[in-house]
Amino acid sequence: MSDRENISWGNIKFKGHSRILDAMRGVHINQTLRAAVKLELFTLLAENPLTVEEIRIALDLHGRGLGDFLDTLVSLELLERDGNGKDARYRNTAEVSLFLVKGSPQFIGWSFEHRMQVFEQSWGALAEALKTGKPVRQDIRESGKDLFELNYQSDEGARTFVEGMNFGQLGSFTDFAREFDFSGCHKLCDIGGANGLLSILVARQHKHMKCISFDLPALEPYALKKIKEAGLSDRITVLNGNFFEDDFPRADIITMGNILHDWNLEQKKLLIGKAYEALPDEGRMVVIEYIIDDERRKNTAGLLMSVQMLLVTEGGFDFTAADFDSWARESGFKRTSSMHLKGNSRAVIAYK
């Protein structure tokens, strides 16, 4: 690298682009989106694209900083802008229309601010968690209950959790349903299927498939409702159970979306072994998560998710495809492969 690209301070040379400033800017980005959600900007723009002045009047704002705020959202690809100058009109991106406009069936705005506050609290205690190795949530540390049991103690907790899951997984599950080879298979069981999103996307795409969405009883009403709304009650069954205690239903394909990372190594291996037992010869287990790259250098989203597991679980951690391959082979699977999916996720597939 030429010296022109470096900044020097004594003997120390570093690239002019500061990663420290980038990391600090994360807070600005986070708060910009939070303010937009709080002001219900995206719901306002769902009707019509509007100018800065029209937005100012509709939201009863002062006006100072508003153009910068809106253009920041444009630069973050959270809004689009037609034209330049004061007559330019702002409109929602497709993603924002789906998730942040009131009235959309996928709206997550009710729980967005709550979730941000929970993140702030738990991530704010990261240094402490690194010292203790314990989850930062006091109720998890003290109750002996896991994240799910605690979240599902109230309807609000269960609903918020399910909404968040669907928001995070729509891209990767859609990609999986479209791209995975379902020929020769008839039955899929999604272990920890929450409200049935993965089963719905697979059943919609592949008319010959029947699916079972297996999860704790607390999520049954959410799954039944979503599957009914999708018009797929005849091909998707909701099964209540505890995946540590109950046998898995037999199926040609067993999927686990964001399940293994919640648990410690022994529990991960137990779940992989149970999938192996429930599959026929040639059956496949598919794990969809933010799989960390094998060298553990690149997939920041996967690594951050693993840190998140430190904060909210007793023993959970994310893993690489190579890790999964060794655990799967230990359980008896012949080989594994991997498939890139949208939204930082990958599917790792074990073949019986």
Ligand X SMILES: C[S@@+](CC[C@H](N)C(=O)[O-])C[C@H]1O[C@@H](n2cnc3c(N)ncnc32)[C@H](O)[C@@H]1O
* Residue ranges in contact with ligand X by CB under 6 A: 148, 165, 169, 192-194, 215-216, 219, 242-244, 257-259, 262
Instruction: Find the shortest distance in angstroms from Cβ 340 to ligand X.
Output: 17
Cα-only R_g, the chain: 23
Least Å distance between CB 157 and ligand X? 11
| C-alpha span between 137 and 58 (Å, rounded) | 40
- The token duo for 61 is 């704002």
| Complex with ligand X: residue 52 or 196, whichever CB lies closer | 196
Comparing CB distances to ligand X, the nearer of 136 and 238 is 238
Q: Which is nearer to ligand X, 45 or 271 (CB)?
A: 271
- Our CB check for ligand X shows the closer of 43 and 255 to be 255
Q: Which residue lies nearer to ligand X by CB, 215 or 318?
A: 215
CA–CA dist 291, 341 (Å, integer)? 10
> For residues 70 and 197, which CB has a smaller minimum distance to ligand X in the complex?
197
Shortest approach of ligand X to residue 264 CB, angstroms?
A: 13
- Which residue lies nearer to ligand X by CB, 45 or 347? 347
Question: Which CB atom, from 92 or from 306, has the smaller least distance to ligand X?
Answer: 306
Q: What are phi and psi of 47, to 5 degrees?
A: -70, -60
Query: In whole angstroms, how close is the CB of 179 to ligand X at the nearest point?
Result: 17
To ligand X, the closest distance from the beta carbon of 63 in angstroms equals 41
Q: What is the 3-state secondary structure of the chain?
A: CCHHHEEEECCEEEECCCHHHHHHHHHHHHHHHHHHHHCCHHHHHHHCCECHHHHHHHHCCCCCCHHHHHHHHHHCCCEEEECCCCCCEEEECHHHHHHCCCCCCCCCHHHHHHHHHHHHHHHHCHHHHHHHCCCCCHHHHHHCCCHHHHHCCCHHHHHHHHHHHHHHHHHHHHHHHHHCCCCCCCEEEEECCCCCHHHHHHHHHCCCCEEEEEECHHHHHHHHHHHHHCCCCCCEEEEECCCCCCCCCCCCEEEEECCHHHCCHHHHHHHHHHHHHHCCCCCEEEEEECCECCCCCCCHHHHHHHHHHHHHCCCCCCCEHHHHHHHHHHHCCCEEEEEECCCCCEEEEEEC
Residues forming beta bridges with residue 284, ordered by sequence position = 253, 351
Q: To the nearest whole angstrom, how small is the minimum distance from the Cβ of residue 152 to ligand X?
A: 7
| Cβ proximity to ligand X, 92 vs 268, nearer residue | 268
Q: How far is the CB of 8 from ligand X (least distance, A)?
A: 47
Phi, psi of 63 (to 5 degrees): 120, -35
Smallest separation (angstroms) from ligand X to the CB of 312 = 10
Q: Least CB distance from residue 258 to ligand X, whole Å?
A: 4
Rounded to an integer, what distance in angstroms lies between the CA atom of residue 111 and that of residue 141? 24
